[in-house]
């Protein structure tokens, strides 16, 4: 009955099928095969990544919940906890950008509020192909509109993120969405069944045929025809989700439910299987009771539909009426569809027949874990790419090219479409190094950032992984926040390719080392494999979401030059490291060389200087150096500055001028201080063994940078600002 073709359609190997037969003691029927197909898919089971993810540091004294649940939880004091995670929705966003991105937001929001936390912030990390192509522009517009429409409608501000453009993402755009919520530490809810005879309730939107096998689709490469995958993309309704959010928080607040799990990837199947798995019980549901919005749905379709905005709730029988009343108030379906049973089995009925009867453990815990072959390709990373590249004749021209390159240019065209102020917590508007939100009725503030430079990771995965963590922590330090927890989204090609697995292994090693060095626990995350199209894999792209805490809201550091006469100080050391830089990519048209080096202990020392200075209120501003190097960082300080004030700087380093201006050496932070505080910060830096150089002063309406007396860049701030500001809107301007 079940032949090779059916197995292929379900993305299951012969040996996986044989294992299923052994585990359930017989051949599965088609519905059961569908269940295993979804739950054993890469997206749901992490079968290719689990082995390597084990090495990530997950413990910490403030960790309330580490990896393994819907989201990670960190105690932030005063009886409060933050609940956060990042998720990918890459494959759906290529097929149907608007809905793919929208439901990506919807999905991660549910992961957060299913634990009892009210979502207060969303950030997104996006990667597209170059904007010179109409198709890439179309995908980007669809994705931005999707995120905007969902996030705005549900009332959670999208406060930050990052956007990169590179050829490798043209056919495999990446949409990673991060969400953070605030909860009372003792009012967290988990996915559990507890208590035989407890009622299982289905709440939320009705089930339709959308998104069937979405999880399986995300676990395979794209071939030539992807149009036919459109039915696999889920369709979102943020209004329904807002109602669901309020109703869920209300029943949680009243303490009338036992457990709750959202229906995300693999829909009803996933929550039906995972809830009893965690509690060691079994579960029985009747599909006839599931609210449906289409006629004639088969059990297969009902179980695997990924219709959005639905939750599975377990409650004591005597509480069911109260739960249903709350959902009725919010005009949502809440139907008792089953109960908790013993025996550890997942039993599903349809039209009075049992259509699924398998051990819960087989579906959830016993998926094979693969240690796939790893083989690093021959890399020529020793060649110095700049040895034969002459110095530029016109630094000003290169500078303008860099700040107008879409990866670096102003993103206001994007974040203007997001409501980033709803909930009245946003302290720093998008464009700063990290998003900063106040916590009402407290002195504290939360900072969060998403970072991940894929050029570095392509050139040296391990270093790239470590730098991603370092950069995120550096961004937090620049707003005065100390990191408290990490979530990561690892975007890679097919794990069946040994080179990709080698990249994955190395990136995870780099991440682990860095998280340990900064002493921050990883509380969870997501792995997205199979980002390939027609055999071409994306660059290894780890996206790190790191959350930090500012103890006193008055100590938050804001970006931008403030006042004429302020001293501009560089913390850190300049080096000749142009490998993997945006500058090199512009000069040579490709990513090459060795990425910048990273000394984690030194990086941490630089952050400590910045943080101590921030906590002592010595800083007028702080900004990290990253893509585009020193010149771009300085320009950004001017653009964010009071009245777009400029600066005059004198550099003395014995380095190639282009390496000095545009190289992306790590562990550097640019700060400005009032003259009266200058000595204090220089002394502090010296004490911590961190080089600190006074580059010049804030003032005037130009950016003037001289190297050993020679003028390299002299440009009016307004001219640079216009190039930076207009770059992306220009790409989307309607041509007449």
Partner 1 sequence: MKFGVVVFPGSNCDFDALYALKDVLRQPTTFLWHKDHDLQGVDGVVLPGGFSYGDYLRSGAIASFSPLMQEVREFADKGGLVLGICNGFQVLLELGLLPGAMLRNKNLKFLCEFVTIRIENETTRFTHKGRKGQVLRIPIAHFDGNYYASPETLKALEGNGQIVFRYSDPDGRLTEESNVNGSLHGIAGLMNKAGNVMGMMPHPERASERLLGSEDGRLIFESMISKL
Residue numbers at the binding site for partner 1 (CB under 8 A): 148-149, 152-155, 237-240, 242-243, 329-331, 415-424, 426-427, 429, 438, 440-441, 553
Six token digits for residue 213: 């096998």
Sign of the torsion formed by the C-alpha atoms of 514, 516, 521 and 522: positive
Place of tokens 């010049």: 696
> 352 in the Ramachandran plot: left (φ > 0), alpha (ψ -120 to 50) or beta?
left
Cβ–Cβ < 8 Å for 171, 536: yes
CB of 237 to partner 1, least distance (A): 7
CB of 554 to partner 1, least distance (A): 10
Measured from the CB atom, the residue of 106 and 168 that comes closer to partner 1 is 106
Reported residue count of the chain is 736
* Per-residue 3-state assignment (H helix, E strand, C coil) for 93-126: HHHCHHHHHHHHHHHHHHHHHCCCCEEEEEEEEE
Measured from the CB atom, the residue of 149 and 581 that comes closer to partner 1 is 149
If DSSP codes are grouped into helix, strand and coil, which group holds residue 519?
Answer: coil
CA pair distance 340, 194, nearest whole angstrom: 8
CA pair distance 175, 332, nearest whole angstrom: 29
CA pair distance 451, 445, nearest whole angstrom: 20
CA pair distance 274, 478, nearest whole angstrom: 40
Six token digits for residue 456: 């570095």
CB of 155 to partner 1, least distance (A): 3
Phi, psi of 334 (to 5 degrees): -145, 105
Sign of the torsion formed by the C-alpha atoms of 123, 127, 131 and 134: negative
Measured from the CB atom, the residue of 240 and 278 that comes closer to partner 1 is 240
CA pair distance 442, 184, nearest whole angstrom: 14
Q: Which of 706, 686, 445 is nearest to 552 (CA)?
A: 445
CB of 243 to partner 1, least distance (A): 6
> 184 in the Ramachandran plot: left (φ > 0), alpha (ψ -120 to 50) or beta?
beta
DSSP assignments along 536-585, one per residue: EEPPPEEEEEEEEEES-GGGPPPPS--STTPEEEEES------TT-HHHH
CB of 418 to partner 1, least distance (A): 6
List the Cα angle 345/349/351 in 5-degree steps. 170
Measured from the CB atom, the residue of 708 and 722 that comes closer to partner 1 is 722
CA distances from 430 to 117, 321, 436, 483 (A): 23, 44, 9, 19
Measured from the CB atom, the residue of 245 and 695 that comes closer to partner 1 is 245
Cβ–Cβ < 8 Å for 255, 123: no
Measured from the CB atom, the residue of 519 and 552 that comes closer to partner 1 is 552
Cβ–Cβ < 8 Å for 206, 135: no
Active site residues: 43, 89
If DSSP codes are grouped into helix, strand and coil, which group holds residue 620?
Answer: coil
CA distances from 184 to 80, 626, 689 (A): 5, 36, 41
List the Cα angle 704/710/712 in 5-degree steps. 45
Give the bridge partners for 700, in sequence order: none
Q: Which of 501, 470, 506 is nearest to 486 (CA)?
A: 470
Six token digits for residue 502: 């080698």
Measured from the CB atom, the residue of 430 and 628 that comes closer to partner 1 is 430
CA pair distance 487, 338, nearest whole angstrom: 34
Measured from the CB atom, the residue of 448 and 649 that comes closer to partner 1 is 448
CB of 282 to partner 1, least distance (A): 36
CB of 211 to partner 1, least distance (A): 20
Six token digits for residue 401: 């090219």
Cβ–Cβ < 8 Å for 159, 121: yes
CB of 106 to partner 1, least distance (A): 13
Secondary structure letter of residue 292 according to DSSP: B
Measured from the CB atom, the residue of 141 and 608 that comes closer to partner 1 is 141
Measured from the CB atom, the residue of 159 and 500 that comes closer to partner 1 is 159
Place of tokens 């150089």: 693
Specify the DSSP element, H or E, that contains 162: strand 158-165
Phi, psi of 698 (to 5 degrees): -80, 140
Strand pairing report for 345-350 and 353-359? antiparallel
Cβ–Cβ < 8 Å for 240, 203: no
């Amino acid at each position: 009955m079940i032949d090779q073709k059916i197995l292929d359609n379900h993305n299951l190997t012969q040996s996986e099928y044989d294992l299923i037969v052994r585990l359930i003691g017989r051949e599965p029927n088609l519905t059961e095969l569908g269940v295993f197909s979804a739950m054993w898919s890469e997206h749901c089971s992490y079968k290719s990544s689990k082995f390597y993810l084990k090495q990530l540091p997950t413990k910490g004294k403030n960790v309330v919940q580490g990896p393994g649940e819907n989201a990670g939880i960190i105690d932030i004091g005063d009886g409060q906890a933050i609940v956060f995670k990042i998720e990918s929705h890459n494959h759906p966003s290529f097929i149907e950008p608007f809905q793919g991105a929208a439901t990506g937001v919807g999905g991660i929001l549910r992961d957060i509020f299913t634990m009892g936390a009210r979502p207060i912030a969303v950030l997104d990390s996006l990667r597209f192909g170059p904007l010179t192509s109409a198709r890439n522009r179309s995908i980007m517009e669809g994705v931005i509109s999707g995120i905007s429409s969902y996030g705005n409608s549900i009332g959670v501000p999208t406060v930050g993120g990052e956007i990169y453009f590179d050829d490798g993402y043209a056919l495999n755009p990446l949409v990673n969405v991060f969400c953070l919520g605030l909860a009372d530490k003792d009012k967290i809810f988990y996915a559990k069944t507890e208590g035989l005879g407890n009622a299982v309730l289905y709440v939320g939107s009705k089930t339709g045929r959308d998104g069937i096998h979405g999880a399986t689709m995300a676990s395979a490469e794209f071939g030539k025809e992807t149009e036919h995958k459109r039915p696999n993309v889920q369709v979102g309704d943020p209004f329904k989700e807002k109602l669901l959010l309020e109703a869920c928080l209300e029943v949680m607040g009243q303490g009338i439910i036992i457990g709750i799990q959202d229906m995300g990837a693999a829909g009803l199947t996933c929550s039906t299987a995972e809830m009893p798995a965690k509690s060691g019980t079994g579960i029985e549901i009747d599909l006839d009771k599931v609210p449906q919005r289409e006629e004639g749905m088969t059990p297969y379709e009902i179980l695997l539909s990924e219709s959005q905005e639905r939750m599975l709730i377990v409650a004591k029988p005597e509480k069911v009426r109260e739960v249903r009343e709350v959902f009725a108030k919010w005009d949502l379906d809440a139907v008792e569809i089953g109960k908790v049973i013993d025996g550890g089995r997942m039993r599903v009925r349809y039209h009075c027949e049992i259509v699924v009867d398998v051990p819960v453990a087989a579906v959830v815990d016993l998926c094979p874990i693969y240690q796939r072959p790893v083989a690093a390709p021959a890399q020529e990373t020793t060649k110095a790419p700049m040895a034969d590249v002459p110095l530029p004749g016109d630094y000003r021209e290169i500078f303008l090219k860099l700040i107008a390159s879409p990866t670096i240019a102003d993103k206001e065209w994007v974040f203007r479409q997001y409501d980033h102020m709803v909930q009245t917590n946003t302290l720093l508007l998008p464009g700063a190094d990290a998003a900063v939100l106040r916590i009402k009725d407290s002195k504290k503030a939360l900072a969060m950032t998403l970072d991940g430079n894929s050029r570095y990771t392509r050139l040296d995965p391990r270093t790239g992984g470590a730098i991603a963590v370092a950069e995120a922590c550096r961004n937090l330090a620049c707003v005065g926040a100390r990191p408290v927890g990490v979530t990561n989204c690892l975007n890679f090609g097919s794990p069946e390719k040994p080179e990709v697995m080698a990249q994955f292994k190395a990136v995870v090693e780099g991440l682990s080392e860095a998280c340990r060095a900064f002493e921050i626990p990883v509380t969870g995350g997501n792995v997205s494999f199979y980002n390939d199209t027609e055999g071409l894999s994306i660059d290894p792209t780890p996206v790190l979401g790191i959350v930090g805490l500012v103890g006193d809201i008055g100590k938050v550091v804001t970006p931008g030059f403030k006042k004429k006469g302020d001293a501009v100080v560089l913390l850190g050391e300049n080096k000749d490291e142009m490998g993997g830089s945006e500058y090199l990519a512009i000069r040579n048209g490709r990513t090459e060389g060795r990425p910048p080096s990273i000394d984690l202990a030194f990086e941490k020392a630089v952050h400590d200087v910045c943080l101590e200075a921030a906590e002592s209120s010595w800083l007028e501003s702080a900004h990290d150096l990253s893509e585009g190097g020193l010149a771009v960082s300085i320009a950004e300080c001017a653009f964010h500055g009071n009245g777009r004030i400029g600066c005059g700087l004198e550099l003395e380093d014995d380095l190639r001028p282009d390496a000095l201006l545009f190289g992306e050496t790590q562990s550097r932070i640019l700060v400005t201080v009032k003259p009266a505080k200058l000595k204090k910060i220089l002394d502090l830096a010296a004490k911590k063994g961190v080089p600190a150089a006074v580059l010049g002063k804030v003032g005037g309406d130009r950016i003037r940078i001289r190297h050993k007396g020679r003028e390299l860049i002299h440009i009016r701030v307004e001219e640079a600002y216009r190039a930076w500001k207009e770059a992306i809107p220009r790409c989307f301007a309607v041509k007449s």
